Amino acid sequence: MADYAKLLEVGREAVAAACSATRQVQNALDQVRSITKDDKSPVTVADYASQAIIGHILGEHFGRDVILVAEEGSEFLRDEDNAVFLEATLAAVKDVWPEADADALLAAIDIGEGDTHHRGYWTLDPIDGTKGFLRNQQYAIALGYVEADTPTVGVMGCPNLPVDMSEPLDVPDTKGCMYLAIKGEGVYETSADDAGADMIRITRLDHLEGDPISVCASVEKAHSNVSDTDRVLEHIAKTHGVEAGEPTRLDSQAKYAVVARGQADAYIRLPTRPGYVERIWDHAAGACIAAEAGAFVTDMLGASLDFSHGRGLEKNRGIICAPPRVHGWIIEAVEALGIRPAD
């Protein structure tokens, strides 16, 4: 059996370091753009820097035993035509990994080429929420440990998410939040980029009967089927007399965090196109964190998320994350309205 406390400790160290580096990149968006001559280059640099740092720290602690299944590979940075991106990525990691050189950085990124054919492995989305990052708003660094096809450890850094839930989500916070969970042991909130900061346990209370339902929504509507989501909320209003409140708009897997801490009542992700398959790194950490806070996390038909099919959630369609009462209402509405996964 894995040493979950050790996994969580190392995961926290790795994600905190990545949060620090990506914040520096986000604070220098225009400078990075001017160097690379590419408007989207800051998130590219941050993606590679985050994965390199996390791969490096996991490798330092676990050596050749580390298995990491991540979103990025190093091919782009190895292309001589992209040398300027390699230089910018190397500069981005130097504050937290001062001895890094190009070869070490590329090797650390390639630690993420692991596969899922193991009893236990890490999975990483180094920057989830590309557009939020480029807007200087919300994004997440999501690291999960999957054991026996189930996320058992979740570490998610949200560098711009304010601890104070009354603060606006479209203004970056100076400290940010990190969420830490071990299956069966609850979830804790702490500072995003300080691996030694105090932790506070959080628990998601069930939705209060009669209160409006606030749903997480992407800043960009294309990330979920908004029409079907609206139909679900209308059905709940008619059936249970509970109206929809103002949506909580933010990008990335940070949506799991705002449901976990009670800032929103549901994260509904319905398929937008036929055949779309969710990736494991987009949900492993967040699903573990939300579930440990007390939310239910399933697909749109109420089935548990199945991490036994490689890099994709091949047997699931859509995501429903909500406290028990609201989750039941959403599943009921999906069934009553005949909303089905597109094939």
> What positions carry a catalytic annotation?
47, 130
Q: DSSP secondary-structure letter at 268?
A: E
Q: Which residues pair with 153 in a beta bridge?
A: 145, 182
Q: Is the dihedral of CA 31, 36, 40, 41 positive or negative?
A: negative
Q: Give CA torsion, residues 212, 214, 215, 221, to 10 deg.
A: 110
Q: Which residues pair with 125 in a beta bridge?
A: 142
CA distances from 31 to 66, 88, 97, 189 (A): 35, 10, 21, 32
Q: Which residues contact 230 (CB under 8 A, 6 or more apart)?
A: none
CB burial of residue 79 (10 Å; 0-12, 13-18, 19+)? exposed
Give the DSSP H/E element, type plus range, for residue 256: helix 254-260
Q: How far apart are CA 150 and CA 307, in angstroms?
A: 6
Q: Both tokens of residue 166?
A: 């009354």
- Secondary structure (DSSP) of 133-176: HHTTS--EEEEEEEETTEEEEEEEEETT--SSTTS-TTS--SS-
Q: How far apart are CA 102 and CA 100, in angstroms?
A: 7
